[in-house]
């Protein structure tokens, strides 16, 4: 699992340690689902450009 | 009363816009202290505007079906000279110097705004229990949440404080309050309604649409604020012959209260009785799509509000936690989430080879109580926010239009709803089938005792 404390320090977020503890579990669960999906991406998988932006009326 | 019914009375001169507006204002005065649906009520401006709309009708000027109809805006829609709080302490005194594009469109259509409805702080949550402006209450039970983030809009419409209230939907925020309050909600296709002048939450996930008391009212509203024309269903629809209605059989779709499941079956049966071909389909996994949508939302929401994150005391606990989580999402994860979104959208879109629209549950349960964090389904205790958004959040990533329809009451007397989905740009099909099913299910049209 990611070390959220180190990531927070690296990004210089200033998020208090108590808050990191409070959100750690949620982030871990999300990572567990998300990262295997990322691992299955291939170079041909392009990004969704700002979605349908061409039909945004204004 | 619906917009369609009010419009007929207006044109027959049996009622005036001023009378309709004053009725809404009286109901706000009577019920808002108990339900907290409105943050700001614009009484004087509404009465003045209604009188102007009456004068136009008298002189033969008819702007169409929204002419003279009292409506409300979720309080993150910019309204010139009327404060727009976004449900946040940061914007408690913010008064825009211009209108949102949709406000200009409703003005052109002749609508009368009675005020601004309450919401979850910054539209970032599903309870509408707002730490700065108070909890919005469910019209069926004051101790229950109305859903969110457009909770005030749901309560306002069901309590007869407005004929239609605009909501926004980034992960279910129109459809959840529609299901929990017992009204109809339309999340149009991404991009079909302008977001200009609306506080953002998720830049590539935000949708704007109506909550109202009927499918036709949602269709009328949608036409007023989009490029869509000819999408308002006929007064009598009759047969659905030739329409393929898909019923997904995924596991997650069955992880709902039995009462919710019964609603899906009831509408599937009604569709079949109306001549539609009902087919079983299978969708890719919602859990994976939801994870992708969450990564995108967390990155975008924090990007939208990062400049204020130093003022931590200005945020409620739950919203601050979500914004902090977004700070820890890397740019690499965000870009990969957008790549996954594109890939998954193609996979989900394959279902349209088999069906023209889908019927799935809306929220898996009825509305939880205010402050309730856990809820039980099939004997398993789960997080309220994750359960409530489980069949909603991913749809925003797909950009599909979605319609929330009431499907009666749960055993505890609270409303439940189903969700209808169609391919991007197919609101006409969605609204046509939705109106036919609504007409066929008068037993699902219920109002809370004491508010009828």
Q: Which residue of A has its CA nearest to B334?
A: A47
Q: How far apart are CA B353 and CA B281, in angstroms?
A: 10
CB of B10 closer than 8 Å to CB of B20: yes
Q: Which of A37-51, B7-21, B144-158, B206-220 has the lowest mean pLDDT?
A: A37-51
Q: Do A45 and B339 touch (CB under 8 A)?
A: yes
Confidence category of residue A37, pLDDT binned at 50, 70, 90? very high
Closest partner residue to A13 (CB to CB) among B189, B291, B327 is B327
Answer whether A19 sits within 8 Å of B189, measured CB to CB. Answer: no
pLDDT given for residue A1 in this prediction = 78
pLDDT of residue B337: 96
Give the helix ranges, DSSP H, for B147-283.
Answer: 151-158, 175-181, 215-224, 258-273
**From the list A8, A19, A52, which residue is nearest B191 (CB)?**
A52
Comparing CA positions, the residue from B152, B186, B183 lying closest to residue B169 is B186
Q: What is the dihedral angle through the alpha carbons of B153, B157, B159, B163, rounded to the nearest 10 degrees?
A: 140
Distance from C-alpha of B354 to C-alpha of B246, rounded to nearest angstrom: 7
Is the pLDDT confidence value at A54 over 50?
no
Distance, CA of B352 to CA of B244 (rounded, Å): 10
Question: What integer is the mean pLDDT of B40-54?
Answer: 98
Q: How confident is the model at residue A56 (pLDDT cuts 50, 70, 90)?
A: very low
For A17, left (φ over 0), alpha (ψ -120 to 50), or beta?
A: alpha
Judge whether residue B259 has pLDDT over 90.
Answer: yes
What pLDDT shows up at residue A47? 79
B173 is catalytic: yes
Q: What is the mean pLDDT of residues B221-225?
A: 98
Q: Residue B295 and residue A19: Cβ atoms within 8 Å? A: no
The strand pairing partners of B149, in sequence order, are: none
Structure-token pair, residue B161: 């404080």
Q: How far apart are the C-alpha atoms of B400 and B360, rounded to whole Å?
A: 14
pLDDT classification of B450: cutoffs 50, 70, 90 = confident
Is B74 annotated in the active site? yes
Q: Does residue A10 belong to the interface with chain B, where contact is any CB pair within 8 Å?
A: no
Supply B218's token pair: 């949602």
Mean pLDDT of chain A: 85
Whether the CB of A47 is below 8 Å from some CB of chain B: the reply is yes
pLDDT digits 0-9 by tens, B278-336: 999 999 989 999 999 999 999 999 999 999 999 999 999 999 999 999 999 999 999 99
- Compare A51 and B39 and report the one with higher pLDDT: B39
B404 is catalytic: no
Alpha-carbon distance of B137 to B411, in angstroms, equals 20
Mean pLDDT score across all residues of chain B: 96
Q: What interhelical angle do B427-439 and B215-224 show, nearest 10? A: 150
Interface test with B, best of A12, A22, A34 (most B CBs within 10 A): A34
Contacting A with CB below 8 Å, chain B residues are: 101, 189-196, 203-204, 226-227, 287-288, 291-292, 294-295, 310, 320-321, 324-325, 327-328, 330, 333, 335-343, 345, 399, 424
State the pLDDT at residue B285: 87
Q: Which of A13, A22, A47 sits opposite B338 (nearest CB)?
A: A47
pLDDT > 90 fraction of chain B, expressed in percent and rounded:
96
Among candidates B414, B401, B294, which has minimal Cα distance to B352? Answer: B401
Its sign, for the CA torsion B348, B350, B355, B356, is positive
Is residue B189 within 8 A of residue B401, CB to CB? The reply is yes
- b/e per residue, B43-81, with b = 16+ CB within 10 A? eebbbebbbebbebbeeeeebebbbbbbbbbbbbbbbee
Residues B105-142 as b/e (b if ≥16 CB within 10 A, e otherwise) read: bbbebbbbbbbbbbbbbbbbbbbbbbebbebbbbbbbe
pTM of the full predicted structure?
A: 0.96
Q: So what's the pLDDT on residue A53?
A: 43
Confidence of residue B250 (pLDDT cuts 50, 70, 90): confident
Q: Tokens 């990062």 label which residue? A: B306
pLDDT category at A57 given cuts 50, 70, 90 is very low
Our measurement of the distance from residue B165's CA atom to the centroid of its chain's CA atoms, rounded to an integer in Å, reads: 9
Whether B135 shows a pLDDT value over 50: the answer reads: yes
Q: What is the ipTM of this complex?
A: 0.88
B210-222 tens-digit pLDDT: 999 999 999 999 9
- Given B101, B291, B310, which is nearest A34 (Cβ)? B291
For the stretch B97-121, pLDDT in tens is: 999 999 999 999 999 999 999 999 9
Does A29 lie at the interface with B, CB-CB under 8 angstroms?
Answer: no
């Amino acid at each position: 699992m990611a070390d959220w404390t180190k990531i927070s320090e690296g990004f210089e977020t200033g998020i208090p340690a108590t808050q990191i503890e409070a959100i750690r579990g949620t982030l871990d669960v999300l990572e567990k689902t998300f990262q295997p999906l990322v691992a299955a991406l291939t170079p041909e998988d392009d990004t969704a450009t700002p979605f349908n932006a061409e039909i945004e009326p204004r | 009363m619906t917009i369609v019914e009010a419009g007929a009375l207006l044109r027959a001169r049996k009622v005036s816009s001023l009378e309709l507006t004053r009725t809404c204002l009286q109901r706000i005065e009577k019920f808002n202290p108990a339900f907290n649906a409105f943050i700001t009520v614009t009484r004087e401006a509404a009465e003045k505007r209604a009188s102007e709309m009456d004068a136009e009708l008298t002189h033969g000027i008819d702007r169409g079906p929204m002419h003279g109809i009292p409506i409300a805006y979720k309080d993150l829609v910019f309204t010139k000279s009327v404060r727009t709080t976004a449900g946040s302490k940061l914007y408690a005194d913010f008064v825009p110097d211009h209108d949102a594009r949709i406000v200009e469109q409703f003005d052109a259509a002749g609508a009368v705004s009675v005020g601004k409805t309450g919401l979850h702080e910054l539209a970032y949550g599903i309870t509408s229990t707002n730490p700065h402006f108070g909890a919005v209450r469910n019209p069926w039970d004051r101790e229950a949440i109305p859903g969110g983030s457009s909770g005030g809009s749901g309560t306002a419409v069901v309590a007869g404080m407005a004929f239609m209230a605009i909501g926004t939907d980034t992960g279910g925020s129109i459809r959840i309050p529609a299901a929990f309050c017992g009204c109809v909600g339309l999340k149009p296709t991404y991009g079909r309604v302008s977001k200009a002048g609306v506080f953002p939450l998720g830049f590539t996930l935000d949708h704007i649409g109506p909550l109202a008391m009927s499918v036709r009212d949602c269709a009328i509203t949608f036409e007023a604020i989009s490029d869509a024309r000819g999408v308002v269903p006929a007064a009598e629809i009759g047969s659905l012959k030739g329409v393929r209605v898909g019923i997904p059989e995924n596991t997650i779709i069955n992880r709902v209260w039995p009462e919710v499941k019964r609603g899906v079956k009831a509408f599937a049966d009604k569709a079949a009785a109306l001549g539609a071909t009902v087919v079983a389909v299978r969708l890719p996994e919602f859990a994976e799509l939801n994870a992708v949508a969450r990564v995108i939302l967390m990155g975008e929401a924090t990007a939208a509000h990062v400049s204020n994150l130093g003022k931590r005391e200005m945020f409620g606990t739950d919203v601050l936690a979500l914004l902090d989580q977004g700070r820890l999402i890397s740019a690499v994860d965000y870009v990969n989430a957008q790549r996954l979104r594109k890939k998954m959208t193609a996979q989900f879109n394959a279902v349209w080879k088999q069906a023209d629209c889908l019927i799935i549950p809306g929220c898996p349960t009825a509305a939880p109580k205010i402050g309730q964090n856990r809820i039980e389904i099939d004997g398993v205790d789960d997080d309220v926010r994750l359960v409530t958004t489980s069949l909603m959040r991913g749809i925003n990533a797909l950009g599909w239009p979605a319609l929330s329809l009431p499907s009666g009451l749960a055993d505890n007397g609270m409303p439940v709803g189903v969700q209808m989905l169609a391919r991007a740009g197919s609101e006409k099909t969605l609204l046509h089938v939705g109106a036919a099913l609504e007409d066929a299910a008068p037993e699902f049209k219920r109002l809370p005792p004491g508010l009828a």
